Amino acid sequence: MAGIDKAREEADKLKKDILDEDFKEKVVMEQVKNELATIANNPELVKLYNDNARVGSENLGSDLPQLKIHATGKSTTNTLADGTEPTDGYFFYKPSQQQFKEVVVHILTISRGFRAEGMSGQKDVFNQILSGVIINEGDQRPFIMYFTGTKLQNLWNFGKEAGKYTHARPVAIPLFALLVKMNTQKVETTYGKSWVVSFSIMKNEADDPIVITDIGEFQFLRDMVDMMNETIEKVIAAKVLEEPEVVKEIKVE
């Protein structure tokens, strides 16, 4: 249960950060509402506010528990705790600066699709966000992961596979109750080879999915679903995306 307790502490901290952000926003809005009319009537102030709207918040969302695939030569911001670069094609977990060749997870939720500015100034790029809990090494670490472009197809295929269990009868299995292994694979894209995530629902010898049987763990993950949904909606609303990789616009022949 130590892993669950640690994950609950991390989840509570993330939830507190969200609540604190909401509280601060309400306080600020209350303080400035009487001044807004004054600002609106002063063209010079309006320009100053608009020109500096993002100052100090350029990295909003940088503390989100991101899980990414490290791509050597493209992922320029990933650094392990010892200062070295992660291994090409490994998962990089930003909060603890750890790397994993593969991860075993409970997937909590897959977001609605949304469009935002992509890499190299591309407009209206379709995105989805997956949230889950990594259970490697006995700990439970909450994470979010961005999917766009080539990465989306495997995510959609996984959704179809999981749907067989979430709609099963007589016992339907919630998505978060499934145990899922995530690996990486390289595929060809317009701009060369790219790493994508592959999903595998873990099964027992009878070919049945491995699921949660502990009531406490089940309820913990169920509560995490609501919390991560709230976090993701805030990310979507703020259009806070994953740090872009360096894109080499050279087609593979």
User: What is the mean pLDDT of the segment spanning 118-136?
Assistant: 79
> Does 97 have pLDDT greater than 50?
yes
Least confident of 73-77, 96-100, 104-108, 213-217: 73-77
Higher-pLDDT residue of 95 and 242 is 95
95: helix, strand or coil: coil
User: How far is Cα 112 from Cα 218, in angstroms, rounded to an integer?
Assistant: 24
Can you give the pTM of this predicted structure?
0.71
Percent of the chain scored above 70 by pLDDT? 68
Residue spans of the domains in the chain: they are 58-238
Beta carbons within 10 angstroms of residue 142's beta carbon: 24
User: How far is Cα 46 from Cα 38, in angstroms, rounded to an integer?
Assistant: 10
pLDDT digits (tens, 9 = 90+) for 164-222: 999 888 888 999 999 999 999 999 877 678 899 999 999 999 999 999 999 999 999 99
User: How far is Cα 126 from Cα 156, in angstroms, rounded to an integer?
Assistant: 13
**Which H or E run contains 194?**
strand 192-201
> Does 239 have pLDDT greater than 50?
yes
**Roughly what angle, to the nearest 10 degrees, separates helices 43-51 and 2-40?**
160
